[in-house]
Structure 1
Amino acid sequence: MFLVDWSSEALALLGCGRRRQTILFLGLDNSGKTTLLRMLKDERLVQHQPTQFLTSEELRVGKIKLRAFDFSGRQIARKAWPDYYAKVDAVVYLVDDCDKERFVESKRELHTLLSDEALAKVPFLVLGNKINIPHAASEDELRYHLGLTGMTTGKGKVNLTDQTVRPLEVFACSVVRKMGYGEGFKWMSQYIK
């Protein structure tokens, strides 16, 4: 893993010069969704209160517009997630790599998303956040515990000739250290239409 200057390069790849892209930031509470969104918007680390309601941010880099939706990960709030699937271009699913006791719950929510027909062709970027903390799960451990072994598409430029294959990959990251997620967004950018 290396430090990525996030500001323009990875975001520029997402826009591809076309319409505004819509990305959902999903995951259980305390996984780092709001921290990541704020880092992308302001490029600075700010301590946040847990997200109570849906928040939406417009991100602009040059001529490129992104709309990001940040949802609360609390169990009651997850019921509202499907209301936003209709016009989404990508899903970023965050997992707290250190909270191994919640891997089963996170796996259940992720597989519910993956099995939803409305998201059948949407690229999924799974970010295992907080790798800067000792005893965090590795990418391979996370892939295993989330039931994604053999389901991911690879980190390179993958030509998906089979239209039934959904772009899906796991990247370890640390939002607070600004590492790993830039690589994930670069990977995801090749699949956003």
Structure 2
Amino acid sequence: MIKDDRLQSPQPTHFPSSEELKLGNLTVTAFDLGGHEQARRIWKNYFCMADAIIFLIDAADFERVDEARAELLDLITDEEISNIPILILGNKIDKKFAMDEKILKEKLGIGRICTGKTGKPAEGIRPMEVFMCSIFCRWGYGDGFKWLSSYLN
């Protein structure tokens, strides 16, 4: 939906796929690897190709936030990708009971290590920030992509 601006019912990712996306002046190859347990087993196979990570979380799914926290912590502490910027998109904020940014950061345990939406972090500090969005309503993710593109060549 982000690529061609057409509204479609999202289907769970069963197999990795890739798409070329244009983010401002930047053209990127995005890999959709999925987030279910079986898909997470292959994430490391793609680390060598990654210049950035976009971690998409359902901000309305309180039942799976602990699982997301554990997976995000694994990414954050992996030495192979320790300097790769991470954009965390808290999606589905159009839902009535979705977490706001402060609660999402708290539930993920990342409030103190996010580096901010403006300015650059100090040398040696991995850029990481949360942007709340609704892909369905088509808002919020553009700011996140703009932030992320400032760290890519």
| Residue in 2 that maps onto 1:159 | 120
Match in the other structure for 1:184: 144
Structure 1 position 159, deviation (Å): 2.8
CA RMSD of aligned residues (A): 1.6
CA distance in 2, matches of 1:59, 1:86: 19
Per the normalisation by structure 2, the TM-score is: 0.93
Q: Is the 8 A contact 2:82 2:126 kept in 1?
A: yes
Tell me the amino acid that sits aligned with residue 81 of structure 1.
W
Higher relative contact order (CA 8 A, sep 6+): 1
CA contact (8 A) 2:133 2:140 kept: yes
Change (3 A) 1:180 1:62: closer
Q: Count residues in correspondence.
A: 153
Letter in 2 for 1:130: K
Query: What stretches of structure 2 of length at least 5 have no aligned partner?
Result: none
What is the match of residue 57 of structure 1? 19
**Matched residue, 1:128:** 90
Structure 1: which 5+ runs fail to align?
1-38
**How many angstroms apart in 2 are the aligned matches of 1:98 and 1:191?**
29
Q: TM-score with structure 1 length normalisation?
A: 0.75
Instruction: Tell me: CA distance 1:67–1:136, structure 2 relative to 1, closer, same or farther (3 Å).
Output: same
- The ranges of structure 1 where at least 4 consecutive aligned residues each deviate by more than 6 angstroms after the TM superposition are none
Q: Could you tell me the percent identity over the aligned residues?
A: 43
